[in-house]
Every structure is written in C-alpha cells, then in structure tokens.
Amino acid sequence: MNTFLTQAGHAALAAQVIRPIEWRDGMLYLLDQRRLPREEVYLPLATAGQVAEAIHDMVVRGAPAIGIAAAYGVALAAAQGEKLEEAYRLLAESRPTAVNLHWALARMREVPQDAGALLEAAIAMHVEDLQQNLHMAELGAACFTAPVTILTHCNTGSLATAGHGTALGVVRTAFLLGKLKAVYAGETRPWLQGARLTAWELAKEGIKGQLIADSAAASLMQDGRINWVVVGADRIAANGDVANKIGTYSLAVLARHHGVKFMVVAPSGTIDMQTGSGREIPIEQRVADELLAIAGQRVAADGIDAWNPVFDVTPASLIDVLVTEKGVLEHPDAEKLQTLMRQ
Ligand code: MRU
C-alpha cells in the first residue's frame, strides 16, 4: 500500500466541506443523497452487493461519484473474500448510462486483484477525481471573459464527484474569482437534484442562487438573463454527443435559439470512444413512481402510467465548449475528441 498517497489523499479529501464518499475503518460510508437536504446521514457499506444497491437506489449518484463508489465496492469485495467476478458484475449492472462506472471498473481490473492493491487503486481514483475537478474548474472559468450569469442543471457538484464538482465546480471557481454575477439552478424533475442537492451545496458555500422550474428556462433566456448554460455529462460518445440528465437537450436547443453559450464539463473518464454516437448510449429508464409521486406522496391522478427516461442526448453540434482535465475543445467533434484522447 502506498501510504504517502493514502495519507495525502485522505487529507485532501477530508479538507472538503461536502464529502459524499468516505473510506473509514475498512468500510465505505456514503452520504445518503435520498435524504438531503433534510438530513445528513451516512450509510455504512461492507460488501460489493450493498454498494451496487446503493448506486441503483441513488444513495450516491452523479457519474464520477458512481465510478468511485464502484471502485471501493471492488476493494470491499476483495477485503471480505467475496467472489470478485460476481462483485464486478453486480457493480457494472447497477446503473446503465454513466460510463464512468465501467471506466472505473476497467481500471480496477488493471491492478493486482488483492485487497491492498485494489484499495490503493480506489483511493487513487478518488483523489485524482478531486484534482481533475479543480483543474477543469479553472479551465472552465477561464472561458468567461467577463462576469457571467449561469444556468446549471441537475447536480454536478461535490455530491456528484470526489469534491468541488464538474459544472458546479466551474460555478464555484467563477464565484471565487469574482466572475459570477448570478447562478440559476433548474429544479431537475423528477428526482429534484437541482432543488434538493445543488441548492443545498450553493447555500452551504455561501453562493446565492435562484431555483427555477425546469419549464422556466425558455423565459429566462428570452429575458436575456443568462450568458451560459453549464452542465455535466454521464457519457460522451466518440462524435461528441453528450448524454446527461433529462432536460439537458432542451436547454441546449433553447440556448442555441437564444444565442446563449452551452458548456459541458466532464473528466476524460466520461468520454467513451467505443460508442460512436449518442444513438448507441443506453438511456436509463426508472420506475414510474419517481414521476408519479413526490417524496413518496402520489401527486398524479390514479390510472395514469409514466414514461420516465432519466437521461437524454445532446448532439455535439449544440455544444460550444467541452471542458475536460486534458484541455478545452470548442465545438467538439470526432476528430477533436480523438486528438484529445491521444494526449
Ligand atoms: O441520475 P443522476 O443524478 O446520477 O444524474 C447525474 C447527472 O446527470 C449529472 O449531470 C452527471 O452525472 C454529471 S455529475 C458530475
């Protein structure tokens, strides 16, 4: 075990105000995002099966955070003497769209399959994600030549990553640099990642934001109130198409219509060069109840069913800027992504 990496990594992660994922005393602790913002409760997990269930049930969510949790899931399996192939299978099947999950599991397969080496690899991934986010946030904020007003969607902050966040990391850094005039957060129906999680993160860090109903985005742009839409990604195909939280595509169409810039912020682990275009990205469908009810209370009339895809695909042609830790691409396309991924 590389103790220097472990100690330095833990120190960097512990310095974060919001810590969605913690490794303590040989167990994985996940901040239960289903219960935020009402309660801050950590769920202790001891097996890969429990981690897979927590990912599926959205105790932990957000593409990079899912990948990191899955990596710790493999480390737990090795420590408990579980069958590793079964652990890999359970974790890989926990959610379909975020490619970071498969990317993280593939990285775990590259190291010796013993408990020490697997834990070290999971911690390294955890620490690396935080470093990448800090770097992307600087690159993203550098694209703003004057103070900006941003609309963001879903939750792409500390909760969705090892810390700082991807799109919300850019918002945070822009705020710290005095480049943020205002930020609007879409509530993100039906799971309310914007209303529950992004709003909670902004308040915790003293950034004043305004919540909008998802359906208010068009009016917001028509009024000329925002300069940039800044979002994360769950999977970026080789041609630059981006799968992200349902509603992202509508924001991209609206942004283009209103002359508002559209930025995607994601680590290279979100880029899937094996998937040619957005059409091939598996889109997760979740249970109808998530749409028919709010906080466990049925709001839709009886007798109606629901279509509940939780991601959509934004064509590359609608993306002005893609920020990754490897660099910034304007108008990403197949050729630019290939060059970027060779670096
Ligand atoms: O269903 P979720 O909450 O896991 O969806 C999360 C998103 O769509 C995020 O925008 C994406 O994972 C990027 S998070 C840095």
Residue of the CA atom closest to atom 8 of ligand 1 = 245
pLDDT at residue number 3? 52
Which of 100, 193, 230, 235 gets mutated to test ligand 1 (max ligand atoms within 8 A of its CB)? 193
The first and second tokens of residue 218, run together, are 């068009």
pTM given for the model: 0.96
Residue-wise DSSP of 22-58: EEETTEEEEE-TTSTTT---EEEE-SHHHHHHHHHTT
**What are the CB-based long-range contacts (under 8 Å, 24+) for 83-91?**
84/113, 86/48, 87/48, 87/49, 90/48, 90/49, 90/52, 91/48, 91/51, 91/52, 91/55
Q: Which residues of the chain have pLDDT under 50?
A: 1
Quote the ligand 1 centre to 3 CA distance (angstroms).
Answer: 32
- Taking the domains of the chain in order of start, what are their residue ranges? 2-133, 136-341
Ligand 1: which residues within 6 Å by Cβ?
Answer: 61-64, 98, 154, 156, 160-161, 166, 193, 232-234, 244-245, 310
Q: What is the pLDDT of residue 114?
A: 97
Assign domain 2-133 to a CATH class.
mainly alpha
136-341, which class in CATH?
A: alpha beta
Q: How far apart are CA 298 and CA 41, in angstroms?
A: 25
Q: What is the DSSP string of 210-232?
A: EEE-GGGHHHHHHTT--SEEEE-
pLDDT in tens, 36-62: 999 999 999 999 999 999 999 999 999
Give dist(CA 266, CA 324) in Å, integer: 5
Closest protein CA for atom 5 of ligand 1: 62
In ligand 1, which atom is closest to the CA atom of 154?
Answer: 10
